[in-house]
Amino acid sequence: MTKTLEKILVLPGGLEISYTEQGDRTGPALIILHGYTDSFRGSSRLMAHLPDWLRTIAITLRGHGDSTKTISTYRTDEHARDVAAVMDALALNRAVIAGHSMGSMIAQRFAADFKERTAGLVLLGAFRTLRGHPVGEALWHETISQLVDPVAPEMVRAFQTSTIEKPVPAAFLEMVIEESLKVPAFVWRAAARSWLEEDLAGVTENIAAPTLVLWGDRDGVASHEEQIALASTLRAELHVLRGIGHALHWEDPETVASLITRFAQSAQRVAA
């Protein structure tokens, strides 16, 4: 496997975006967008199983990990523009965009707003929208709305472990928790508010890219009904992983990598 490099990009306006990259720099590009309070490091298990011919780039979104903690709305369109700016900085015209959980909504927004730059779309543990979503509403009212700095490690541990059905390596879980603890309380609140206020249900209707939807059948956050609706609207391929929870790329990275690789090969043939 090609060596994975960790870097910082300074975008126009001074925003610093932390990212990691591996694979053939002349190959087709895959950009990975993480979930709520995660970072590019949460993609490490998945990236270990991706092929060298893919140029794989995992981005840490603004407010998360080692990227700039901006005072902003944290809306999906804002994040999508950041992704486009990253692609500009890396001289990438098009890429397959893969997003997990919160990242799935940003990926959908990017595919709708930047159609010509989206070679394909991969949605993992995805949502059409979180506006009015019972799990999101409960998390906001019971936990996130009350957060203050420093964010309590025990809360972060409970939050992250609640997304996992199949055990992951202890060292990996500790790393994920450490990354979430880098996120200040105001970003936890601002990002969650954007979920609850944005109505993204119509975004999928503006997506033209070929799409792969991946979901674990023990996911207690994103429902099966949501995946069926996404797959139907996007005319997407839906794969259900058995015995896997919301964090499917953590729990079964080899299977997820295999499915993404096959999809990326197909998207490359279509582009050619």
Residues of the chain with pLDDT > 90, as a percent, come to 92
Residues of the chain with pLDDT > 70, as a percent, come to 98
| Contacts with 136 (C-beta within 8 Å, 6 or more apart), sequence order | 130, 192, 195, 196
Q: How many domains does the chain have?
A: 1
Range of the structural domain that residue 233 is part of: 5-271
* Terminal-residue alpha carbon distance, the chain: 25
- pLDDT tens for 97-106 read 999 999 999 9
Q: Is the pTM of this model over 0.95?
A: yes
The CA distance from 42 to 32, in Å, is 10
Helix (H) or strand (E) holding 44: helix 44-47
Q: What is the pLDDT of residue 127?
A: 95
- Mean pLDDT on 214-220: 98
Torsion over CA: 62, 170, 137, 241 (sign)? positive
- pLDDT tens for 107-133 read 999 999 999 999 999 999 999 899 999
Question: Are 66 and 182 contacting, i.e. CB atoms less than 8 angstroms apart?
Answer: yes
Question: Are 240 and 207 contacting, i.e. CB atoms less than 8 angstroms apart?
Answer: no
The CA distance from 177 to 182, in Å, is 9
| Contacts with 154 (C-beta within 8 Å, 6 or more apart), sequence order | none
Helix (H) or strand (E) holding 7: strand 5-10
The CA distance from 137 to 118, in Å, is 31
- pLDDT tens for 131-147 read 999 999 999 999 999 99
Q: What is the pLDDT of residue 24?
A: 96
> What's the CATH number where 94 sits?
3.40.50.1820
- pLDDT tens for 64-111 read 999 999 999 999 999 999 999 999 999 999 999 999 999 999 999 999
Q: What is the pLDDT of residue 199?
A: 87
